Structure 1
Amino acid sequence: MKPCEPLIISNESGYNFQAVGSIPIAHAWRMIVRDHKQVFGREPLQTEEEAAIIIRYAQEEDDCPQWPEGYCLRFVAGEKGTVLHIIGRDELGIIYGLLHYSRFVLGVEPFWFWAELSPTRRDAIVLPSQDYDSAPSKVRYRGWFVNDEVCLIGWKDDYPPTEQVWEPVFEALLRCGGNMVIPGTDLPRTGIHHKLAAEMGLWITHHHAEPLGAEMFLRVFPGKQASYKEHPELFEQLWQEAIERQKGEKIVWVLSFRGQGDKPFWENDPSFNTPEKRGQLISYVVCKQYSMICEFVEQPVCSMAMYGEIAELYKQGHIEVPEGVIKIWADNGYGKMVSRRHGNLNHRVPALPEVGDEGKNGVYYHVTFHDLQASNHLTQFPSSAELIVDELTAAFAAGADEYLLVNSGNILPHLYTLDLAANLWTYGNVDAEQQLTDFIGRLYSRQHQEIFQLYRDYSRCTIVYGPHKDDRAGEEFYHHPARQMMGFWLQGKEGSDERLCWAAGEGPFPEQVRWFKEKAESAISGWVELRKRCLRIMKQLPEDECRRLYNQLLVQIELHLSGSRGLADICIAYGLFLEEDYPRAFVQASHAVWSYQMGKEALLLAGTGRWEHFYWADWLTNLDNTISHADTVRRFLRIQGDSPDMFLWYKQYVMPETEKHIYLENTHRKPLPDDELARCLEKVLY
């Protein structure tokens, strides 16, 4: 067969859109219309005659890949020149074919919206006529759990979030090759999130605390005991309603039974006091849910979270899983496939299917996490990319490759690790250094090696708080433990703070504070150096790329630097308080306020333009709360030595010696504000 001539695509190229009748494909087509306009300056021409590009379903002679979601590109010589056929085996196949064209022909970055990276304007694109066949992804069901998404919630005025918020999320997921999503956590069912995700072609799955996507029992039946033993008919009513509501959609049904508020059910039903009783009820409920689904859905896709106590009961042999149900294993929130830490308990039980475990298995994996201890919510994964690669490839090797759900948080701070996860669910393995090289090359036009080294050194700067490879701290380490310490201190408690034992041990409170102080102080120099390098690189980048590096990396470095300084400052203030050196303790607590405020200022600077108000709903790390705590501490310290007139320290340390004996109180008794007094005292005392 004579090879086709290269295809020249321009603003005059016509598209013949034959895959009509599908709402998800229509969504994808609107993406292509926008992409084409960004590249060529005007929307594409739609025509049935002399089209340069045809979008259609596969026919037998196309030899299109046979698997679900398969697609291909075929170049055909026409009377007016070469024609490109974008061909899909099914609905998602066409969508992925269109997005392949968008990325590799039009040059649209998968994270174009989140990285603020528009495609290059072109007059024409010369496309070699080389047929292309898609390969099956390593993981069949793959996607994001948009969890701990408060920044998305607070970004715009409307609640629940509107299409304006959700569409860029789902579009980025599709462009990363994802096909499944949990669209948010416990949002009102009046919101558009579920409907829009389905309309964009994604499979919907559920939070393990909301089996089958049903309403929470106590939300529908307030005042009743949330006990399946007492009210089986009410639980089953909720499940039935959820099944009927979603039976026509693409659903990966989650079978589960946990208590209200995502905790073991027996905490509210103590009659289930043995592993056998607990496992028996869970097995019965899961079997009941599965049979109810099968009444309405032919060959349903079902999963069951092997999470927390359920994984433990399953490994002990107390839970039976229906045949064909995908068992989902979870990491500990810090990237390691072991059981997560609960308070001070950290058993680190392996969380993977054992050798010989039959059936299908998958993984729920965190690249972002929120646990009130040391997790990363506003900053990227604190350990190395190699840890992610090692853990997920090991999970795949153990047979957990049917399903991969990645906790994506609020998307914006996590593009690097979400891109890494997408490569893993697509190919099964990846060279971490090569992936980072590719990622940086897509987002920046220069200084590639320098930016590469910033990303590599980021995880080397994070605080190591324990003996394991994954014991590295995200930014919440500087805030939740700090607020706990400040509360324990001001409440006048003695002994050790049980909430800090997971990190600092069970020693007396002053020793716990000293442990956090040493950890925080040890991190400061690394973050200072990384910040200097980042600022130096930004000066050599174009304005848009400088802004991108700020939003993607420098703001996170600022959160770590300001956080480590603030944590160290408040610990030092406590030590001075024990010595009854209240003026210096006041100054040090003021430094804590100023340090934490620097992190807040960094977020405010990042929250401009497209991201205006994005960090407004920082309710999880909650910098404002930490600043308020630190400010309360310094006011408490000032009362120890400067009360009642708040003038004593000024007189003792600041007022000129000659004035102390002749001033008139009626003209010199105005108390200085805390910030001003602290800066005056610092000049004298340090």
Structure 2
Amino acid sequence: MITYNSAVITDDCSGAVQLAAAAVRRDIESTCLETDKKGVDIALLQDSGVKKECFRISVHNENEVKRLMIGASDDFGAIYGLFYVSKIFLGVKEFWFWNEQNFAKKEGYPVPEDFTYESRPFKVKYRGWFINDEVLFDGWIRDKDPEMPWRMAFEALLRCGGNMTIPGTDFNAHKYKKLAGDYGLYITHHHAEPMGARMFARAYPELEVSYDKYPELFKGLWEEAIEDQKGLKVIWNIGFRGQGDRPFWIDDPAYDTPESRGKLMSDLMLVQYNMIRKKDPEAVCCMNLYGEIMELYRDGYMDIPKDVIKIWADNGFGKMVSRRQNNHNPRVYALPDQKDDGAGANGIYYHASFYDLQAAAMMTMLPNSPEFVASELSQVFEKGADDFWIINCSNVKPHTYYLQLISRIWKGETDSGNIEAFTHGYCDDYYGFEYCSEISELYKKWPEYAISYGQHEDDHAGEQFPNHGARILACAFIAGFDRKDPEYTDKTPELNWLIEADTLRQQVVWLLAKYEEGARGYKEYLEKCLAVKEFIESDGAAHIAEQLENNLIIQVKYMYYSYLGAYHICRALLKCLDPDSKDANGESFIGALEETGEGRTIDYLSAFYEAGLARKAFYEGYQDMRAHEHGIWENFYENDCEADIRQSYHVAESLMSYLRVLGDGPHFYKWQRHFQQGAGGDKVHLILRIKAHLTDLEVWELMDEANKKY
């Protein structure tokens, strides 16, 4: 048996293997009761007969001393073997930390005397995570242990069989690359930071960003990057983008044709390639066919060295087509075709999480189904793009379901034909067999409630759709509301990707229907989740109910409150943009106070009330999210700054203030007199005020109380 007294023996092993062994020792302490019972030791054995990155496990009995031996020919094999033992015998799963797996300690865990196991090679050569837009990591642990999120992420990646990482975005990638190297991982780079070099604009802020003017300075930064990563295992990402995640020609408009852009990128990749190979003739290089680069490559404007891995990217929603950028959405097929046969290695950059300020999901799971993901990745295999998979995992915790799915696919354990078994197994892993059926049904419903916003199968919305969409509408209204001709207030071009419209009113009407559908659907979904949670709690399994709340229900709530807030934003705007619109009952409870513009009534007061309902929904969503921070998760959600439901309620407050200016300014007494007892009333208009001005929120709360009486 493996007991509390089992040792993990790693004599003469590397630091990376020692870290994995320490993690397994921690697993033993987390799952075993402290007893005097002798346990079988776990020991590593150098075995050159085992394939690279594989391991062989068997029970050895010498002089009545039993050991569970892990044979491997390299560090990755040893690390994967250690974590396999922990998973199979101790029950410590890949995402034990991130999914808050509960452990019931036992005296020991039996190991059959005839136990043997030999792992198979992975289907993907280089496979790992891009810890990108990791905003929730920032400020989470603060000064207690700033490396902890990164150590837990790297450990989870290794437990999933990963061997490669981009260790963060921008400054974090430089800060944590050594730690990733300590865990034995290959380092690669963001497509916006070729070779992991510092950005020119940061190194030389006083200079114009132009390779033509400062070629030696650019080359100096590349040389610096090569030297800085000496001693690390690196897969060198070469390329040339602008200062940030955008095309370089935005910074250097002299390159105004596809031919000139493609030639410069091709020439500079060759320069970088030669610099790297001069230092290390065996170095592995890759380059990203991402966004605008995909179009240049497909149109024949780029030359790439044949032994450079070409990385094809999905669109952020799991579909292997080029991504939408603002209103430009060409959906260029993003996998190699027959022209690429024999032209070098291929891989993918794939998103379990994405950020686009339009419809993506970062705080919540991918809105497309696991069947869809598995189908797309099966096509990746069919096209031979199995040399390199980098998966955008952002902050890890919200995305463990899809990250585990993808890791099972790169191991060759799951495909599109057995997703139901995968989902059942995932829920069994983290919630236990007893409630697995009920919880797996809830996970299956996640993509079913995602709102479809377009004609394509992957056009399903994440939490950015209601949050960014509502803020775009509110800001466009405040900036451009036409009080003389409300119905013809100009549209906002930021929504051209979504709907063809001539006016803001048309955009609001279209989105109102989507947001209403989302609020209604996620409310229904939430009720189903809470019913299962209540059932589990009533059965005495409070810890499992809490896990369900912290892993899945929090995401459903985020979506519900976001859609509810966006729905009320649209209703507020339509009160102004469509003065003839009426509620279902034909009248507003405060219709008597409508203002008049150009002979028509504009119900600023009802609009203000709806904006307050939006503010309330967004605020409750934010408060609920923060209420899930407990124990080690203190401050985890504090820096939600991309979907940012907190900013949504601030924008709703701004809309309230704007509407009050329009309908109650400049003296701000009419609404207050109507709703505040003792403030003068509607019928008698005194020259002087008799109550101090109320804030927008105080006025709204009085309105809400009045509304509840009707």
Q: TM-score, normalised by structure 2?
A: 0.90
**Worse overlay, 117-126 or 517-526:** 117-126
Q: Distance in 1 between matches of 2:35 and 2:242?
A: 52
Residues 252, 303 of structure 1: 8 Å contact kept: yes
Q: 1:634 aligns with which of 636, 656, 660?
A: 656
**Worse overlay, 172-181 or 83-92:** 83-92
Q: Distance in 2 between matches of 1:418 and 1:360?
A: 24
Q: CA 1:12 to 1:262, structure 2 compared with 1: closer, same or farther past 3 Å? A: closer
Pairs within 5 Å for 1:79-98: 79-98=63-82
**What does residue 381 of structure 1 align with?**
366
**What does residue 5 of structure 1 align with?**
none
Q: CA 1:195 to 1:232, structure 2 compared with 1: closer, same or farther past 3 Å? A: same
**What does residue 16 of structure 1 align with?**
9
Q: CA 1:557 to 1:418, structure 2 compared with 1: closer, same or farther past 3 Å? A: same
For residue 153 of structure 1, what is the amino acid of its counterpart? D
**What does residue 412 of structure 2 align with?**
427
List per-residue Cα deviations over 1:459-517 (Å, max 9, x = no partner).
11111110111111111111112111111111125422100111122321110011111
**What does residue 305 of structure 2 align with?**
322
Aligned Cα RMSD in Å? 2.4
For residue 55 of structure 1, what is the amino acid of its counterpart? L
Pairs within 5 Å for 1:21-36: 21-36=13-28
**What does residue 535 of structure 2 align with?**
540
**What does residue 652 of structure 1 align with?**
674
**What does residue 469 of structure 2 align with?**
481
Pairs within 5 Å for 1:123-522: 123-128=107-112, 129-158=114-143, 162-187=146-171, 191=175, 193-357=176-340, 358-427=343-412, 429-430=414-415, 431-445=418-432, 446-492=434-480, 494-522=489-517
Q: Distance in 2 between matches of 1:421 and 1:190?
A: 26
List per-residue Cα deviations over 1:370-427 (Å, max 9, x = no partner).
1110111111111111111111111111111111111001111111111111111111
Residues 243, 293 of structure 1: 8 Å contact kept: yes
**What does residue 555 of structure 1 align with?**
554
1:451 is displaced (CA, Å) by 1.5
Q: CA 1:355 to 1:439, structure 2 compared with 1: closer, same or farther past 3 Å? A: same
Listed as ranges, the gaps of 5+ residues in structure 2 are 482-488, 580-601
**What does residue 55 of structure 1 align with?**
44
**What does residue 55 of structure 2 align with?**
71
Q: Secondary structure at the match of 1:438?
A: helix
Residues 674, 681 of structure 2: 8 Å contact kept: no
Residues 10, 17 of structure 2: 8 Å contact kept: no
1:536 is displaced (CA, Å) by 1.3
For residue 432 of structure 1, what is the amino acid of its counterpart? I
Residues 367, 447 of structure 2: 8 Å contact kept: yes
For residue 499 of structure 2, what is the amino acid of its counterpart? A
1:147 is displaced (CA, Å) by 0.4
Residues 35, 108 of structure 1: 8 Å contact kept: yes
Q: Distance in 1 between matches of 2:632 and 2:252?
A: 48
**What does residue 592 of structure 1 align with?**
614
Q: 2:106 aligns with which of 122, 135, 144?
A: 122
List per-residue Cα deviations over 1:583-628 (Å, max 9, x = no partner).
1111111100001112101211112222111111111112222111
Residues 675, 703 of structure 2: 8 Å contact kept: yes
Q: Distance in 1 between matches of 2:691 and 2:470?
A: 34
Q: Secondary structure at the match of 1:504?
A: coil
1:525 is displaced (CA, Å) by 1.8
Q: CA 1:681 to 1:86, structure 2 compared with 1: closer, same or farther past 3 Å? A: same
For residue 185 of structure 1, what is the amino acid of its counterpart? T
Q: Secondary structure at the match of 2:67?
A: strand
1:65 is displaced (CA, Å) by 2.6
Residues 8, 25 of structure 2: 8 Å contact kept: no
**Worse overlay, 261-270 or 470-479:** 261-270
1:641 is displaced (CA, Å) by 2.6
List per-residue Cα deviations over 1:3-34 (Å, max 9, x = no partner).
xxxxx22233344333x241101111111111
**What does residue 4 of structure 1 align with?**
none
Residues 7, 25 of structure 2: 8 Å contact kept: no
1:555 is displaced (CA, Å) by 1.1
1:658 is displaced (CA, Å) by 10
Q: TM-score, normalised by structure 1?
A: 0.93
For residue 276 of structure 1, what is the amino acid of its counterpart? E
Q: Distance in 1 between matches of 2:221 and 2:286?
A: 19
Q: Distance in 2 between matches of 1:497 and 1:142?
A: 41
Q: Secondary structure at the match of 1:573?
A: helix
1:294 is displaced (CA, Å) by 1.1
**What does residue 603 of structure 2 align with?**
581
**Worse overlay, 401-410 or 260-269:** 260-269
Q: Distance in 2 between matches of 1:371 and 1:388?
A: 19
For residue 691 of structure 2, what is the amino acid of its counterpart? R
Residues 36, 44 of structure 1: 8 Å contact kept: no
Residues 294, 332 of structure 2: 8 Å contact kept: no
Q: CA 1:276 to 1:43, structure 2 compared with 1: closer, same or farther past 3 Å? A: farther
For residue 248 of structure 1, what is the amino acid of its counterpart? G
